[in-house]
Amino acid sequence: MKVFVDTVGCRLNQSEIEKIAAQFRAEGYEITGEVSEADLVVVNTCAVTARASADSRKAIRHATHAGNAQLVVTGCWATLSPDEAAAMPGVSRVVSNLQKDQLVSLVVGREHVFEPESRQPLPGGRRRTRAFIKVQDGCNNFCTYCVTRIARGAARSVTSEEVLAEVRAAAAGGAKEAVLTGVHLGSWGQDFAEQQHLKDLVELILQETSIARLRLSSLEPWDLDEEFFRLWQNPRLCAHLHLPLQSGCARTLKRMARKITPDNFRLLVNNARRYAPEMAITTDMIVGFPGETDEDFEESLAFAREMSFAGGHVFAFSPRAGTPAANYPDQIESQVKKERSQRLRKLFAEMEGAYAQQFIGRSLDVLWEDQSEDGSLKGLSGNYLKVCSASSQNLWNEVSRVKIIRKNGGDLYGEIE
């Protein structure tokens, strides 16, 4: 039987769909890169924004139009809207996030015991050189705009033994880079009987596995002390931190119930740059949060400029059912949110360009993620710069030393040394 897997949203969803595919392979199923070939389709949905929910429904409809015999829907949107998901044409089963780890067992009709051995990248559009490793799920924070906590439940950590097994399987399968993911990645280990810290897990992976590069995905910007940043003295740890700020305005952060202030965030960034001066620090920011005045937005914009981010994502506030902010007064008009988004995106583009500019004329190690038939290459440096080049050799999933020559649109162009 052939299985097609699809996912919408974050790296955590990517890590989950990769594991689901590996579990089906262990049961003797074939993973296909073409939805039209599949006997079974699994769609892992997202609900972080209204657009993500719409994209999830679109992915389900796309699978339905392919005429597959079985269509299993899981993930955050399916968890929050199970009846709507079940009512969509073609859907044969809805599996909530809390049952997701048992999805394969539910489909095959018997308990599935999975021991990771050797990772195989997904075929088709979900093919990734980097291995996404889920080390934590759920969240105990109460950010007033966030629906993910509702969809994912309380924070819970994957044991270090399980994480090590996944990373070793990734390395055995040829992956050069593992990316640790979670809803609140920085809370890893805090729910254990003997509390641990993410720092302990990172040190363990660097000591006990042969993975060439280790990257951390999005980290909430708290619970990270100065000792944490000493980890970047190890060159195998990629010099990139994604620290979601959400707003640079103290008043807005308080209304969001974020456990951070601009002053705290500034200290965090300064500590990171003290140990890794060229660290790429990226972020997420929300514009148009209920009650955000013009003055609040200008304060947020100015703080983002001060931080000199290497890039970031901008989201217009999207009211999510079940969150406090959805019912806050002073909701912002769509046109205002659009104008603020444009201004902040322009600033991010300028900062991203300024960060990339300093590496022209220098050499970077680049992991090639994509190679076209004409030899064109696209890949990522350790500090998350997008680099293009060309080669007559097949360098997909290889790391090359690249001399950066110039900017190439939004990317950098370099010559392989």
Residues 14, 122 contacting (CB under 8 angstroms): no
What's the whole-number mean pLDDT along residues 71-85? 97
The pair of structure tokens assigned to 91 is 């859907």
Work out whether strand 40-45 and strand 2-7 pair parallel, antiparallel, or are unpaired: parallel
pLDDT in tens, 222-269: 989 889 999 999 999 999 999 999 999 999 999 999 999 999 999 999
Q: How far is CA 280 from CA 193, 285, 312, in A?
A: 34, 16, 11
With 90 as the cut, is the pLDDT of residue 84 above it? yes
Judged by DSSP in three states, 220 sits in coil
Per-residue pLDDT at 111: 86
With 80 as the cut, is the pLDDT of residue 323 above it? yes
Pick the closest to residue 148 from 48, 75, 56, 289 (CA basis).
48
pLDDT in tens, 92-148: 999 999 999 999 999 999 888 778 888 888 887 667 899 999 999 999 999 999 999
Q: Which amino acid is at 41?
A: V
Indicate the angle between helix axes 160-172 and 198-208, nearest 10 degrees: 40
pLDDT in tens, 187-218: 999 999 999 999 999 999 999 999 999 999 99
Per-residue pLDDT at 68: 64
Residues 87, 81 contacting (CB under 8 angstroms): no
Per-residue pLDDT at 122: 85
Work out whether strand 70-75 and strand 93-95 pair parallel, antiparallel, or are unpaired: parallel
What's the whole-number mean pLDDT along residues 29-49? 94
- Higher pLDDT: 223 or 155? It is 155
Residues 39, 70 contacting (CB under 8 angstroms): yes
Q: Tell me the C-alpha distance between 361 and 378, whole Å.
A: 18
What pTM does this model have?
Answer: 0.93
The fraction of the chain above a pLDDT of 90, given in percent, is: 91
**Site of tokens 């009650």:** 291
Could you give the angle at the alpha carbon of 402 between the alpha carbons of 397 and 404, nearest 5°? 130
Q: N- to C-terminal Cα distance for the chain?
A: 45
Residue 158's contacts (CB-CB under 8 Å, 6 or more residues apart) are: 134, 135, 136, 137, 188
- Higher pLDDT: 409 or 76? It is 76
The pair of structure tokens assigned to 92 is 């044969």
The pair of structure tokens assigned to 159 is 């044991």
pLDDT in tens, 221-233: 998 988 999 999 9
Domains of the chain: 2-108 (3.40.50.12160), 124-357 (3.80.30.20), 363-416 (2.40.50.140)
Summary mean pLDDT of the chain: 95
Q: Which amino acid is at 324?
A: P
With 70 as the cut, is the pLDDT of residue 67 above it? yes
Alpha helix locations (H) across 242-285?
A: 250-256, 262-275
What's the whole-number mean pLDDT along residues 262-280? 95
Per-residue pLDDT at 126: 65
Q: How many residues does this entry show for the chain?
A: 417
Judged by DSSP in three states, 127 sits in coil
What's the whole-number mean pLDDT along residues 356-377? 96
DSSP H or E segment with residue 41? strand 40-45
